[in-house]
Amino acid sequence: MKLHIALLPGDGIGEEIITQAVKCVDATCRRFGHEVTYSRGLVGAAAIDATGDPYPEATHRLCVEAGVVLFGAVGSPRYDNDPSARVRPEQGLLAMRGRLGLYANLRPVNIFPSLVARSPLRGELLEGVDILCVRELTGGIYFGRPRGRSEDGETAYDTCVYTREEVRRVCALAFEQARRRRGRLTVVDKANVLATSRLWRETAREMAPAYPDVTVEYMFVDNAAMQLVRQPAAFDVIVTENLFGDILTDEAGAITGSLGLLPSASVGAGVSLFEPIHGSYPQAAGKDIANPVATILSAAMMFEHAYHLHAEGAAIRRAVATAIADGFVTEDISADGHAYGTRAVGSYIAGKI
């Protein structure tokens, strides 16, 4: 098969982790006989510096033409510490999601047995943890209008907006994922307070009879946050709106012991995008200490979801599991203080593939 992948390293550690993922994609393609070509684009602070736009038109065209995107991260302290900045790197990510129609983010949460001790939770709570979080990605408070500040700067406001169709399409995806897994779906909202959450719950209830093989429960977001640390193994598939999903998936990710382990897929009508859930980690940029595993596992999801090449994705997962079991890991998950660099870990995993 011929693969064409758009590479958007972004900011901070983005270039380093994408480089390691490419090593593993190349190794997988050599092993399974595929041809792969890459196109590179700018996004985030790197794009602002070069063009003034965090998501330039050239990058958008590149993503559409490739159809598959492997993305690093965006974010820079230069903008984080400047409240007056009119353009921010994160606007590039939101624009990319919106323009590419990436309405759902899939985030699996699994436990590597050799890393149980790294989790903040007791080991017995981690047995059987296998969660898929489905986060709505192009609606809600991140995209709502109006938003802004009053003229005197003393009041700020954001608007959370959802349509029934936006809720329906992401819930349909979540129902289908639950049907393929263990048949349980948790709809997370704040329906006791928020009108948008009441629309979410109402829509999910209307859809549920079409999926009689899926058991559905409804949970307020504050309770869901508590249950994720009390009994994470009780969850199968979680679906929720954009802001709640952003927060809950990072919480769920911490259960694994490091955000550097968690991949994700963003999907929609056509183009699909694969990225680690962590940020740009600018403090580590250029130091060869960033964990590339989440990006490498995102590449595994890319083979499976974008190309339906499941043996290839499984080969990457096995290689990652072997590296972790062998203790060939970066400092964030090293158990004995002996850690390897980003490049070394990427090369080790590619070698195992």
Q: Is 38 in the active site? A: no
Q: What is the pLDDT of residue 253?
A: 81
Which of the four pLDDT bands, split at 50, 70 and 90, describes residue 83?
low
Predicted pLDDT of residue 118: 82
Q: What φ, ψ does residue 184 adopt, rounded to 5°? A: -130, 135
Q: Which of 130, 158, 246, 288 is catalytic?
A: 246
CATH architecture, domain defined by 120-255: 3-Layer(aba) Sandwich (3.40)
Give 84's pLDDT tier (boundaries 50, 70, 90).
low
Q: Which of 72, 127, 106 is nearest to 255 (CA)?
A: 127
192: which 2 tokens?
Answer: 């006791």
What is residue 82's predicted lDDT score, i.e. its pLDDT? 67
Answer with the residue of higher pLDDT: 117 or 239. 239
Pair of tokens at residue 126:
């981690």
Going through 14-87 in order, the beta strands assigned E by DSSP cover 35-40, 68-73
Mean pLDDT score of the chain, rounded to an integer?
Answer: 94
* Percent over 70 (pLDDT), the chain: 99
pLDDT digits (tens, 9 = 90+) for 145-177: 999 999 999 999 999 999 999 999 999 999 999
Name the token pair of 136: 């709505």
Mean pLDDT of 50-69: 97
Pick the catalytic residue from 23, 190, 348, 352. 190
Checking if the pLDDT of 337 tops 90, the result is: no
What are the pLDDT digits (tens) for 24-49? Answer: 999 999 999 999 999 999 999 999 99
pLDDT at 181: 97
Backbone phi, psi, residue 199, to 5°: -65, -40
51 CB contacts (<8 Å, ≥6 apart)? 42
Region for residue 7 given its phi and psi (left: phi exceeds 0; alpha: psi -120 to 50; beta: otherwise): beta
Per the structure block, which two tokens stand in for 149? 């500040």
Q: Is the dihedral of CA 16, 17, 21, 27 positive or negative?
A: positive
Number of other CB atoms surrounding residue 176 within 10 Å: 15
- Element (H or E) spanning 148, and its range? strand 148-149
Q: Give the pLDDT score at 302.
A: 98
Cα(181)–Cα(184) distance, integer angstroms: 8
Q: Mark whether 26 is an active-site residue.
A: no
Residues facing 107 on adjacent strands = 133
pLDDT category at 229 given cuts 50, 70, 90 is very high
Q: What is the pLDDT of residue 80?
A: 73
Q: What is the DSSP letter of 19?
A: H
Q: What is the mean pLDDT of residues 340-345?
A: 98
Q: Does the structure show a pLDDT above 80 at 207?
A: yes
DSSP strand pairing (184-189 vs 237-240) = parallel
Identify the pLDDT of residue 266.
96
Q: Check residue 209 and give its pLDDT.
A: 98
- Candidates 142, 162, 281, 340; catalytic one: 142
- Active-site hit among 80, 82, 157, 222: 222
Residue 67 clears pLDDT 90, i.e. is over it: yes
Tell me if 237 sits within 8 A of 215, measured CB to CB: no
Cα-Cα-Cα-Cα dihedral sign, residues 237, 240, 244, 247: positive
Model pLDDT, residue 160: 97
Domain 1-102+260-353, CATH: 3.40.718.10
Residue with tokens 């353009």: 87
Encoding tokens for residue 107?
């985030």
> Between these two residues, 115 and 331, which has the higher pLDDT value?
331
Q: Answer for the pair 135, 246: CB distance below 8 angstroms, yes or no.
A: yes
Give yes or no for residue 65 having a pLDDT over 80.
yes
The pLDDT, as a whole number, for residue 335 is 78
Cα distances (angstroms) measured from residue 127 to each of 228, 284, 285: 13, 32, 34
Does residue 222 have an active-site annotation?
A: yes
Q: Which of 116-120, 126-130, 294-298 has the lowest mean pLDDT?
A: 116-120
pLDDT at residue 248, rounded to an integer: 94
Domains of the chain, by residue range, sit at: 1-102+260-353, 120-255
Active site residue 250: yes
Name the pLDDT band for 345 (thresholds 50, 70, 90). Answer: very high
Closest Cα partner for 298 from 68, 41, 37, 137? 68
pLDDT, tens digit, for every residue of 259-301?
A: 789 999 999 988 999 999 999 999 999 999 999 999 999 999 9
At residue 113, the pLDDT reads 85
Q: Which residue among 26, 158, 250, 288 is the active-site one?
A: 250
Look at the chain and count its residues.
353
